[in-house]
Amino acid sequence: MKLATIRTAGGTTAAVRVDEEAGQAVEVGAPDVGALLRQPGWAEVAAAARGPSHHLATVSYAPVVPNPGKVVCVGLNYRSHLREQGMAPPAYPTLFAKYSSTLTGANDTIVLPEASRAVDWEVELAIIVGTAVRRADADAAWSAIAGYSVMNDISMRDWQYRTSQFLQGKIFDRSSPFGPWLVTRDDPAVDEAGMELSCEVDGEVVQEGRTDDMVFGPAELVSYISGAVTLLPGDVISSGTPGGCGHWRKPPRYLEDGNVVVSRVAGLGECRNACRREGG
């Protein structure tokens, strides 16, 4: 099952079930996917919903969870990304955070901030939590995952490397596409053994990888993070990026005004975003 948060004509949002074959997005009675996930039996509620429908080709996607309580990001989690930096795999996940104000929709504009001239791409698998979990073992961790989505952890490298802490380079407003859908774990499109992911800039493939190249997989991340903090429905884990980022190219390459970035994960859809310089 595919779920999304769409913008409505009245200036609000609505959670919908995406019926691709019918070309429809059917409202499920919640204002967004995060609110839906907080309802008991959310999957059954969404599957049975017969609310107002929208033509899928005309919907405007908000971030799939517009206001997650937590966005926990994982750095240095693909072996190919570690190789391009000449680094060994870490013993523990490298964690930092984003805020909901950083997120933008699957087809929205990526804002290139005036303050940075080193804006880089990072396609990622987003893990969306569907059940509250604390100190989870492997089975509980898998059970807590509602499904997956696409994230691009757009990074301002000049800010990121001002200090040893990543956060300041990762939290600029409306910079990180997230969507278009939450695809539930039981959907036939989801292959947890390994999903291909890629990023294109103006039609050129700049990143390719598979999720089975992760150092720490989805359940390991849920288990580890829940050892420190309770994960709640609607929380998001952005699980790291494969090799191919612009910062480690020779010479380095960064996003520019007018570029179009396409972030894909097989089975989960794509984010397609034009880049516009702030104030331009």
**Contact 110/154 with Cβ under 8 angstroms?**
yes
In a domain, 104, yes or no: yes
Whether residue 96 is found in the same domain as residue 176: yes
**Contact 184/42 with Cβ under 8 angstroms?**
no
Question: How many Cα neighbours within 13 Å face the side chain of 73?
Answer: 29
Residue 92 CB-density burial (10 A; 0-12 exposed, 13-18 middle, 19+ buried)? exposed
Whether residue 31 is found in the same domain as residue 127: no
pLDDT of 108: 98
Whether residue 40 is found in the same domain as residue 83: no
- The count of domains in the chain is 2
Question: The domain that contains 268 carries what CATH number?
Answer: 3.90.850.10
Q: Which two tokens stand for residue 107?
A: 């087809």
Whether residue 179 is found in the same domain as residue 214: yes
In a domain, 35, yes or no: yes
Which of 20, 39, 61 corresponds to the end of one domain? 61
Main-chain phi, psi angles of 67, to 5 degrees: -135, 65
Whether residue 10 is found in the same domain as residue 135: no
Q: Identify the CA nearest to 7 among candidates 42, 32, 24, 28.
A: 32
Q: Does pLDDT of 226 surpass 90?
A: yes
Report the percent of the chain where pLDDT is more than 70.
100
- In this prediction the pTM is 0.97
Whether residue 180 is found in the same domain as residue 55: no
Distance CA 61, CA 222 (A): 26
Q: What is the mean pLDDT of the chain?
A: 97
In a domain, 66, yes or no: no
In a domain, 140, yes or no: yes
Distance CA 71, CA 45 (A): 25
Whether residue 106 is found in the same domain as residue 239: yes
Distance CA 92, CA 83 (A): 17
Q: Strand locations in 94-144, DSSP E?
A: 94-98, 103-104, 110-112, 119-120, 123-129
Whether residue 19 is found in the same domain as residue 99: no
Provide the residue range defining the domain that includes 30: 2-61
Query: pLDDT per residue over 15-67, tens digit each?
Result: 999 999 999 999 999 999 999 999 999 999 999 999 899 999 999 999 999 99
pLDDT of 171: 97
Would you place residue 97 in the very low, low, confident or very high pLDDT band (cuts 50, 70, 90)? very high
Query: pLDDT per residue over 237-251, tens digit each?
Result: 999 999 999 999 999
Whether residue 135 is found in the same domain as residue 226: yes
Which of 34, 61, 88 corresponds to the end of one domain? 61
Query: pLDDT per residue over 119-172, tens digit each?
Result: 999 999 999 999 999 999 999 999 999 999 999 999 999 999 999 999 999 999
Q: Does pLDDT of 218 surpass 90?
A: yes
* Composition of the chain by helix, strand, coil, percent to 5: 20, 35, 45
Which of 12, 27, 61 corresponds to the end of one domain? 61
Whether residue 83 is found in the same domain as residue 127: yes
Whether residue 163 is found in the same domain as residue 133: yes
Q: Does pLDDT of 280 surpass 80?
A: no
pLDDT of 10: 86
CA angle, residues 123, 125, 128, in degrees to nearest 5 = 140
**Contact 222/129 with Cβ under 8 angstroms?**
yes
Whether residue 93 is found in the same domain as residue 35: no
In a domain, 116, yes or no: yes
Q: Identify the CA nearest to 242 among candidates 92, 77, 93, 74.
A: 77
pLDDT of 74: 98
Query: pLDDT per residue over 158-197, tens digit each?
Result: 999 999 999 999 999 999 999 999 999 999 999 999 999 9
**Contact 131/41 with Cβ under 8 angstroms?**
no
